[in-house]
Structure 1
Amino acid sequence: MNVMTKPETTEVDPISLQVIRGAFETIAEEMGHVLYRMSFSSIIRESQDLGAGLFDTDYNTLCESESTPMHIGSIPGYLRGIEETLEDGEWFEGDVVVHNHPYYGASHTPDLAIVVPVFYEGRLVGFAGNTAHHVDIGAATPGLIIDVPDVFAEGMLLAGVKLYRKGKANTGMWNYIRMNSRAAQQLISDIEAQVASARLGAKRFVELIEKYGEDVVFGAANQLMDYSERMTRQRLSEIPDGDYEAEGFLDDDGRNRGQQLKVKVTVKVRGDAVEVDLTGSADQTPTAYNVPFEGSTKVAAFAAFRKLLLDTATSEMRVPSNEGSFRPIKVTAPLGSIFNPKFPASAEARFTQCNRMIDLIIRALAPVLPETVIAGSSASISFAAYSGVRPSGDYWVFLEVNEGAYGGRPRSDGPDAIDNLMANTRNNPLEDLAMHIPMICDRYELRDDMPPGAGEFRGGIGVVKSQRVLTPGFITHESERHTEAPWGIFGGHEGAVGKCLLYNYATPDDVTEMHSKFSGLEVKADDVMAYYSPNGGGFGNPLNRPAKKVLEDVLDGFCTVKHAHDAYGVVIDLEEETVDIEATNKLRDKMQRQN
């Protein structure tokens, strides 16, 4: 039996501290790189829907890969859940654990975690772990689920299960996993990639300890966490004490149409600490549209403040991504609410709620952080699962994350067609799609049917993507913001809501407008799903936008001549491709007086 005794840590000199910090970050990046390079499914291999890092025996994050925040930030919750459920009740050298139970710390069931214990001189000193979103874990509908009654319909629930025990493979468990997935080969191969990544992380962790000594490595880790905590508290202390509120509404729960779900955020700032209170948000839903508290709700709040206060592009000093930045942040959500459901409620389709929570944290703090916040982003996610059965009888399953758009920013326009807020996945190359899946992308470009939110700095433009299936199959789609547009700020205008259309390639005028979420829709060969992501809100008074920029947007097709006139007060001669300066000045003066 291993005994976990902690060595006394020492004060590490600044040069050694930076060297070890760099080593930690390199190990995490190498783990992530190995994982996505070895994986077979496009959601991991191309989109990089994953996270990886190292952890101490108190489950503190020591370092994390630069990947999707929801993944890496959630692993401490997985580790605490594993502690409650671990097979054998203890760790041995050579163990490899798989875990995905949302009521034991997981972010949601398709995100399988692989954890390897790190032993040094016979003692457990830490963990190397990763998570990745898998193509299919045998849920009620292929790939993704929304309208299901409970957590047991989400697919395989794995809690503290050892895939390897003392280095020996648990063949029964591997066979169980293989026999309970529609995409078995991809699932098994991707798990094997996770195992390789975690084992590499454990190996590198031991090599680091051997090189610098256990007391120095953990001394540096503790100092780095303390530094991240100090920097977070310093930035929080710059926000005036107070309670800051914002609320919004989600479209529906995927079953009960027309019944919006309230999201209410109260940000309580007290000195150098903050509480995100979600009291007042909707009750848990009867579908999978709930959010696991430990693995997702808390992680979203942590990510929100790191983005607001410690962004690497705007901060003077780069602050390590570790547990320290989480310590000053408390998260509260009533048990039985959408952000803290009671077992056995399903909680697989949980991402859009997290993105909206972050969007509302930003909105709540806008009055006291005017130079830091942005206008409303798409703050959703379009997560689509396409599937069908090949002539051989085997399933094909494809998961796709579509881009959204940011809101306008204090000094620049919102970025176009990009994951935002909590999302950080990459798009899947269309060539890869055509090589492996019986689908064709008919259209993939910036949205042109609705303008982004007008402002001194306009909102970002969303994406439109039309995917055509070549065989009969099924589509499940999880998205949001079809009823409430991204908000404008400081005089900026709101953006545009999203939409989702379904039609057949042979009859493109016979269009059905879909809800933002639908499950297991049966489709025919050559049916097309066209998704239009929301456009971001505008930042600042549109009348302050330089007329030349408005002209450029018109010429680029992002803005019509009429919209330039009505929203920006800019008069454009489209034939000459010029601005009528005199007419523009008169119109803007008139509009300013009317405001």
Structure 2
Amino acid sequence: MTKTDASVEVDPITLQVIRGSFETIAEEMGHVLYRMSFSSIIRESQDLGAGLFDTDYNTLCESESTPMHIGSIPGYLRGIEETLEDGEWYEGDVVVHNHPYHGASHTPDLAVVVPVFYQGRLVGFAGNTAHHVDIGAATPGLIIDVPDVFAEGMLLAGVKLYRKGKPNNAIWNFIRMNSRAAQQLVSDIEAQVASARLGAKRFVELIEKYGEGTVFAAANQLMDYSERMMRKRIAEIPDGEYTSEGWLDDDGRNREQRLKVKVTLRVTGDEVEVDLTGSADQTPTAYNVPFEGSTKVAAFAAFRKLLLDTAVSDTRVPSNEGSFRPIKVTAPLGSIFNPRAPASAEARFTQCNRMIDLIIRALAPVMPDKVIAGSSASISFAAYSGVRPSGDYWVFLEVNEGAYGGRPRSDGPDSIDNLMANTRNNPLEDLAMHIPMICDRYELRDDAPPGAGQFRGGIGVVKAQRVLTPAFITHESERHTDAPWGAFGGREGTVGKCLIYNSDNPDELREMPSKFSGLEVGANDVMAYYSPNGGGYGDPLKRTPAKVLEDVLDGFCSLEDARDVYGVVIDLEDESLDVEATGALRKKMSA
């Protein structure tokens, strides 16, 4: 059989075996990528994605990585089709691509794609994306306050790193000469090449074992199954229009000018439209979102999380293109979620997280047992950099944790990436070994409480990083003005904050906006980031008093809040509950 025979029905056992093979290939690709990489953002944080795709650019399988990465690769493939060097794929080709106006998620996320040939014919693709330390932008590592996409660094569109198996030395030299962290960048790209080539090899082995027609028939059946399951879940939502709004702090330049995010969901039968009309116009900085590579991907991820979460589903639904098909995404051209070229669009993650947060909020009235309260729905992405005595740059990228909102049956998880993010923290030992920095503080936030509720919000992180030499800091974060929302009687959470001070004078604090670019700091200066605390779910008076006692003893709830918010009376000296007084107080407060 050939791929054109892929309409045959594959028996259930073979179908599951092939499904397992797809998933194993994607996981192996992701594993090779992060194990072979040199920069900590890939090697430790695992800011990456990998998978296999057919010639129509459908996602056949994806690694269990950051959703924004893997979901965006079909957009990259469509962009590569528009820009491909030579205009044709050959065996042995390896393409690198990152152009945000040709499908990429944003410029630092380089995709590496290898075509899969079987018996001399192109049958699919193996690809991955990863976030790179520095691609030569206006500021090291990250950028926010820049005028256009050309200030974001190298723009690579359909460029062949290898052509028919032979390296394109000119482009490799170009990449080396245009990055402050050239060796890390080149080594990480080489890891991506190895990962993609392995995926292509495994794809061919799978076809050779089961036959081309059987493999692609199975792929089509698995995509159809994911589509049916997504449609079934959407059909359970009452038809209607659901709207929610929130605010972003600023665009990184125009302070005090908040930006609206408006989400309207139109549910009709087994389909849903995510309409972002009414959101802010595009900004003059990099605080915009590429439509194909990021906006659409975030909307797809939102419904995957809400409706197909493996922890609460009876069956595990494969992660593939099928689950995207019932979801339409609309954003007016010229808006923050669909900017016009050549607007810069590098700092795009938090807007996507807030979109997902608002999708959840809009559906809360009709899905009370599936939604959560407001999460931090932000990202703290910091770039620290400096120049060594040798004249070489050091650059360190770090993603700091946030917190989830309270849930229908449990508290919000503390100090963890949330919603679109899925990166790991960077070990402090690794930091000190490679970079002239020291972490002075890394713990759960204790200066402000999480949102109170029957199930409280998650607690954010405090991370204080000290540079040991003069350095530059660029920081992309959010939610310094719009606290995570409470659900069904729960209280709102706490906004985030960012402080700069010198370790020799810790009381001389400078409070920073949520995002800033290229801040020059001196030796022993510290950036302390406090991520938002999640909102509470349900009436605080229904919270189990024993849990309130635990939070008081752990320092996450004051004695006063235990009494005034939760109606719980605690004898701190004995570390015990006054059960009778608590019952009386709660009865009075309920009345």
TM-score, normalised with respect to structure 1: 0.99
1:170 to 160, 168, 171: 168
Pairing 1:234-253 to 2, within 5 Å after superposition: 234-253=232-251
- Supply the AA of the counterpart residue of 1:589: K
Matching residue of 1:223:
221
Instruction: Give, in whole Å, the separation in 2 of the partners of 1:566 and 1:323.
Output: 50
Residue of structure 2 in register with 1:126 after alignment: 124
Following superposition, the deviation at residue 34 of structure 1 comes to 0.1
1:153 to 147, 151, 154: 151
Contact 1:5 1:123 in 2 (8 A): no
Shift of the alpha carbon at 1:587?
1.3
Between 1:8-17 and 1:205-214, the stretch displaced more is 8-17
Q: Report the counterpart of residue 456 of structure 1 in structure 2.
A: 454
Supply the distance in 2 between the matched residues of 1:566 and 1:285 (Cα, whole angstroms): 43
Q: Distance in 2 between matches of 1:293 and 1:210?
A: 38
Partners of 1:513 and 1:563 lie apart in 2 by 26
Gaps of 5+ in 2: none
TM-score, length basis structure 2: 0.99
Distance 2:128 2:74 in 1: 11
**Alpha-carbon distance, 1:580 to partner:** 1.1
Query: In 1, distance between residues paired with 2:78 and 2:6?
Result: 23
Partner Cα separation in structure 1 for residue 494 and residue 581 of structure 2: 28
Q: How does 1:227-376 map to 2 (within 5 A)?
A: 227-376=225-374
CA contact (8 A) 2:6 2:214 kept: no
Q: In the aligned structure 2, how far is the partner of 1:359 from the partner of 1:9?
A: 39
Residue identity matched to 1:28? A
Q: Distance in 2 between matches of 1:135 and 1:258?
A: 30
**Which SS does the other structure have where 2:151 is aligned?**
helix
Map of 1:439-454 to 2, 5 A cutoff? 439-454=437-452
Helix, strand or coil for the counterpart of 1:474? Answer: strand
Offset of residue 138 of structure 1: 0.1
- Give the Cα–Cα distance (whole angstroms) in 2 for the partners of residues 236 and 373 of structure 1: 14
Distance 1:567 1:409 in 2: 19
Distance of 1:267 and 1:416 partners within structure 2? 29
Asked whether the 8 Å contact 2:458–2:533 carries over to 1, the reply is: yes
| Cα offsets for 1:88-107 (capped at 9, x unmatched) | 00100000000000000000
Alpha-carbon distance in structure 2 between the residues aligned to 1:203 and 1:547: 58
Partner in structure 1 of residue 468 of structure 2: 470
What residue identity is the alignment partner of 1:514?
A: M
CA distance in 2, matches of 1:507, 1:141: 28
1:9 to 3, 7, 10: 7
Q: Amino acid of the residue matched to residue 326 of structure 1? A: F
> Post-superposition shift, 1:341?
0.1
Matched with 1:393 is: 391
Q: Offset at 1:7?
A: 4.3
The two structures, once aligned, show a CA RMSD in angstroms of: 0.7
Q: Is 1:575 paired with 2:573?
A: yes
**Aligned match of 2:62:** 64
Alignment pair present for 1:187 and 2:185 = yes
Residue of 19, 22, 38 corresponding to 2:20: 22
Question: Residue 565 of structure 2: SS of its match in structure 1?
Answer: helix
Q: Distance in 2 between matches of 1:408 and 1:439?
A: 35
The one-letter code matched in structure 1 to 2:194 is: A
Per the TM alignment, residue 582 of structure 1 is displaced from its structure 2 partner at its CA by: 1.6
Q: Which one-letter code corresponds to 2:264 in the other structure?
A: T
Query: Residues of 2 paired with 1:387 and 1:564: CA distance?
Result: 43
Could you tell me which residue of structure 1 aligns to residue 533 of structure 2? 535
Question: What's 2:504 paired with?
Answer: 506
Find the residue that maps to 1:366 and give its secondary structure. Answer: helix
> Does structure 2 retain, via aligned residues, the 8 Å contact 1:6–1:125?
no
Counterpart in the other structure of 1:406: 404
Does the 8 Å CA contact 1:34/1:197 hold for their aligned counterparts?
yes
1:9, CA displacement in angstroms? 3.4
Where does residue 135 of structure 1 map in the other structure? 133
**1:211 is aligned to 2:209:** yes
Structure 1: give runs of 5+ residues left out of the alignment: none
How far did 1:5 drift? 7.5
Does the residue aligned with 2:365 lie in a helix, a strand or coil?
coil
Q: What are the residue-to-residue correspondences of 1:418-497 with 2, within 5 Å?
A: 418-497=416-495
CA deviation after TM superposition for structure 1 residue 583, in Å = 1.4
Deviations 1:217-258 (A, max 9, x none): 000000000000000000000000000000000000000000
Runs of 4+ with deviation above 2 angstroms: 4-9
- Residue 80 of structure 1 corresponds to which residue in structure 2? 78
Change (3 A) 1:588 1:38: same
CA contact (8 A) 1:414 1:536 kept: yes
